[in-house]
Each structure stands twice: as structure tokens, then as C-alpha cells.
Amino acid sequence: MTPLKNLSPYIKNKYGGYTITRDSIGMSPAEVYKMSYNGDEAVYLKRSARKYRNTTYDVKREYDIIKWLSAKLNLPGIIHYEETENFNTLLMSGMKGVDLETLKENISINEYIDYYVRSLKIIQSIDLKQCPYDNRVNNRLNELSYLIENGLADINVDGWEDDTEFTDSTELYNYLTANKPEEDPVFSHGDLCNSNIFIDNGKIGFIDLGRCGTADKWMDIAFCVREIRELNNAPRWTDLFFNKLGIAPDWEKIKYFILLDELF
């Protein structure tokens, strides 16, 4: 049983008897808890501290995106959302199926790549009309400036990619500011990694939606490339990925968006 403090009266009264387990896998500073009771279907509580409000770590963004996209994509269901002095808190239903990170142990690399290609096509097919959030480079850099100034950015270079040539956050931030690409906006997941893609009898769903919004099409593609390379770095697999997508790689943009993610 994980102690969970600062709960609102509503959540205490409704879920006080539930077994609560904290998710220690995700990298986001938002807290995620699995709440279950006597074998019932689990409920997931996700909350973000006040200092993250108006950033892509704010669970209000996830709440807004799910409301906007619930009829268009396979997503967690909203059970309850609230804002208190210290936290924004979102209660969601779980996703059916298994995440791609787990599934990769039992499928071929070819099938793994197929799921990324399908996921990208689903995400990028969303019409941007009335999209609630703009995550293009200028806005992400403004957010990053706030995170750095407030000690909230990931400045630990030991956790950066092995081929990242920068040695500190200031150097990297200056590079990102000076080399902003011309953007081709589409709807973007913003963190399209294998743990955020769920497969249920071939149907694809998505979680961890706080970074969803308008962004350059190469942002999500860059994350897919990174994930495929982590599984197998042989060039033939990224070649296969782009063959399946039917486009030629833009390696400059791929590099840029992987570098942009280093500080988040």
C-alpha cells in the first residue's frame, strides 16, 4: 500500500479503501498511481504539482486532450478531474491490451516497426482544427526556458543519448534556439515511445497524452527512430521504417527533435 497524501475529500471518500501502487516506470515528474479494489478494474490517478502548471507536464493538458480526442482515438476514459491548491489531478480508466514495450519481447522487429508506422499514421491523420495546444518549437523552447530557470529541466548529461555532443544544458539550449527548423505542422503525440502505445487484438491506443498538440511531423518520427535504434541499431531497420512510411528521412530534423527532448 503506497501512502498517498494531499487527496481531496472526494477522492478520499470514493477511493479510500483501494489498494494504491505507485508507477515507478515513467520518466515524467507527474505522479501516477494504480488504484484497485477486490479485483475490480483498476483506476489510474495521475497528478501534477502546482509548479508544473501550464507546462506539458500539467495533467490538465491530458484532461483537455482526452476530452477533445475521445471520439477519434482509443484513449483512457476520464473518470474525474479536479484542481486544488497543490495539485491538478486526473482519474482515468485503464487501457485494454498490452503496451508495445512489453509486446516487443514476443514479436519480430518487422512487426514492431509496423506498429510504429500504424501509430504514426493514426496520430498524424487527426485534423488540427480546434486542437487545444500548440507544441511547435517556439512554445517548447519557451517552456524549456521556464523549466531550466526553475530547476525543473533534465540537465543530467549522464541520462542523455550516447551520441549527444553537448556537455551542459546551456550549450544545448543555445543550439536549439539558434537552429530552429522550418516546421510542417501536424497533430503530434509528443512522446510516441513504446510504453505509450497499447495494442489490444491489433487495435492501437495511446496513453500519456500531455504533450499532444500541433507540432512538426518529424517530432514523433524522431522518437520512433530512437526507439527502433534502441531495439536494434542496424541501419536496415530504420531503412525499413521509412520504406513502410513511404518517405525519405530528414536526418537534420530527426537529430533536432531528439536533442530537444534531452532536457525534458
- The one catalytic residue in 191, 216, 250, 261 is 191
Annotated active-site residue 191? The verdict is yes
Hey, what's the torsion of the CAs at 110, 116, 121, 123, to 10 degrees? 170
DSSP state, 41?
P
Distance between CA atoms of residues 102 and 141, nearest Å: 32
120: helix, strand or coil = helix
**Phi, psi angle pair for 136, to nearest 5°:** -70, 170
Q: Are 64 and 132 in contact (CB under 8 A)?
A: yes
CA proximity to 95, closest of 208, 15, 18: 208
What region, left, alpha or beta, does residue 15 occupy, with left being phi > 0 and alpha being psi -120 to 50 degrees?
alpha
Cα atoms found within 13 Å of the Cα of residue 113, Cβ hemisphere only: 20
Helix 235-245 to helix 217-231 angle (10° resolution) is 140
Give catalytic residues, as residue numbers: 191
